[in-house]
Amino acid sequence: MQLTHRPVISATGLFTPSESISNDELVASFNAYVDQHNERNAAAIEAGDVEALSHSSVEFIEKASGIKARHVMSKEPVLNPDTMSPRWQERTNDELSMMAEIGLIAAKQTLKRAGRDASDVDAVLCAASNMERPYPAMAIEIQQALGIDGFGFDMNVACSSATFGIQTAADYVRAGNAKSVLVVSPEITSGHLNWRDRDSHFIFGDVATAVLVEDAAIAPAQHWDILSTKLKTVFSNNIRNNFGFLNRAAPENAEGADKLFVQEGRKVFKEVVPMVAQMIIDEAEKLQMDPTTLRRLWLHQANAGMNRLIAQRVLGHEANDDESPTVLDTYGNTSSAGSIIAFHLNSDDLSGGDTGLICSFGAGYSAGTVFVRKVA
């Protein structure tokens, strides 16, 4: 008789940096930078050689995105008009790297919540939108720090990294290649955000999440069955970051704005909303499930307006906070970690048998759906 392996989510974990920046603080610093720039370049602006910069506004940010604050790993240099980017001491090879450090905190919390000993975990995937270095993999460093005898590797699918990581972990379990897999998403997005760009300076925040995907046979009594996972990618330049090892040789470009996050926000909004809503509806149909009966949607946290539209198309009515919770107000967009934070903070109250959806979308374009049902 062939044994079947059923992947479930045993637990999740969350690391939140202690420092946070409010919209008021962010806008005050940005506007000070703008005033400085305009003063220093007054003559060139007058002559038409340099463009004058415009102030940012708290009202715009809240209305356009729903974001009210974001956590960061390095607050003062981000707010300092002379630096406008995070700064940290470079670590030696003997020190734990930053992404591993925060990923480890989320991972340990996850293992504790699952009642799982690290020695019983087979694999670690570090799934995030940027890696601190090409190799050795962040995942292997986390694996080593946890004392896991198995394997680990990094994967990057931008904002969809975590859901792609969950499907990858679930596939290892389904195939019998692993019984317990940690998907860790340390997102230090402040390092790739252009804090001098008015159109996007308010978007991102730092955080780390972890998800433990396991074979139902060994999972704790309280867990989430994974009913289905579905991934989709469609190439687009509308969210792009050109930073990479091949442009290191061109120092004149090293500080260039295209080596940070850039996007055509309007186009992203228009193109991604219908794609994701349809993907969810199609997957529900495959599961012979009426999507309007989904108890809760834990959507990618990029923009409140996008989530409102997607939830409305899926549920057939305007979703309330209980049906589609947001963490945008306090965390901002945390890339791949966003839907996992929403799930982590807003799932304990659901009852056994309740069905919900974790869903991500972002650069690539990339999108992932994970339908889950609470057990016990």
Query: Residues with catalytic annotation?
Result: 159
The residues pairing with 224 across neighbouring beta strands, listed in sequence order, are 9, 374
Under the binding rule (CB under 6 A), the answer on residue 153 touching ligand COA is: no
β-bridge partners, 207: 187
Query: Is residue 275 a contact point for ligand COA (CB under 6 A)?
Result: no
Q: Give CA–CA dist 191/197, Å, rounded.
A: 14
The least CB distance from residue 151 to ligand COA, in Å, is 30
302 binds ligand COA (CB under 6 A): yes
The number of residues that bind ligand COA (CB under 6 A) is 21
The 3-state secondary structure of 139-167, one letter per residue: HHHHHHHHCCCCEEEEECECECHHHHHHH
Applying CB under 6 A, the span of 128-136, 259-267, 321-329, 345-353 interacting with ligand COA comes to 259-267
CB-nearer residue toward ligand COA: 174 or 198: 198
**Residue 253 token pair:** 């470009």
Identified binder of ligand COA from the candidate list 56, 109, 163, 307, rule CB under 6 A: 56
- Told to check if 332 binds ligand COA by CB under 6 A, we report no
Residues in the chain: 376
Task: With beta carbons less than 8 A apart as the criterion, state whether 170 and 214 touch.
Answer: no
Whole-angstrom distance between the N-terminal and C-terminal Cα of the chain? 28
Q: By CB under 6 A, is residue 73 in contact with ligand COA?
A: no
Question: Per the omega criterion (within 30 degrees of 0), is the bond before 172 cis?
Answer: no
Contact between 329 and ligand COA per CB under 6 A: no
Q: At what angle do helices 338-345 and 161-175 cross, to 10 degrees?
A: 70
Check residue 265 for interaction with ligand COA (CB under 6 A). yes
Query: Per CB under 6 A, which region of 13-21, 143-151, 250-258, 266-274 contacts ligand COA?
Result: 266-274
Q: Does 68 bind ligand COA (CB under 6 A)?
A: no
Nearer to ligand COA, 100 or 363 (CB): 363
Minimum distance from residue 134 beta carbon to ligand COA (Å): 23
Q: Which of 199, 290, 318, 322 binds ligand COA (CB under 6 A)?
A: 199
239 binds ligand COA (CB under 6 A): yes
Least separation, in Å, of the C-beta of 205 and ligand COA?
12
- What would the two tokens of residue 334 be? 């945390």
- Do 13 and 113 form a contact (C-beta atoms < 8 A)? yes
In angstroms, what CA-CA distances link 197 with 100, 157, 254, 374?
Answer: 29, 24, 17, 42
Site for ligand COA in 84-143 (CB under 6 A): none
Of 10, 29, 65, 369, which lies in the binding site for ligand COA, with binding defined by CB under 6 A? Answer: 65
> What is the amino acid identity at position 109?
Q
362: contact with ligand COA by CB under 6 A: yes
Cα–chain center distance at 285: 27
Which residue from 74, 229, 263, 326 is in contact with ligand COA, where contact means CB under 6 A? Answer: 263
Our CB check for ligand COA shows the closer of 142 and 302 to be 302
Does 46 interact with ligand COA (rule: CB under 6 A)? no
Q: Is 295 in the site for ligand COA (CB under 6 A)?
A: no
Residue showing the smallest CB distance to ligand COA in the complex: 265
Which residues touch 11 (CB under 8 Å, ≥6 apart)? 110, 111, 113, 114, 116, 211, 212, 220, 223
Is 169 a binder of ligand COA (CB under 6 A)? no
Q: Whose Cβ is closer to ligand COA: residue 5's or residue 198's?
A: 198
**268 in contact with ligand COA (CB under 6 A):** yes
Measured CA to CA in angstroms, residue 259 lies from 47, 248, 271 at distances of 29, 10, 24
CB of 145 to ligand COA, least distance (A): 29
Please name which of 183, 251, 222 lies closest in space to residue 354, comparing C-alpha atoms: 222
Q: Is 53 in the site for ligand COA (CB under 6 A)?
A: no
In the numeric block, the tokens 């060994």 are attached to 218
Instruction: Indicate the SS3 state at residue 340.
Output: helix
Residues that bind ligand COA (CB under 6 A): 56-57, 60-61, 64-65, 159, 198-199, 203, 239, 263, 265-266, 268-269, 302-303, 306, 333, 362
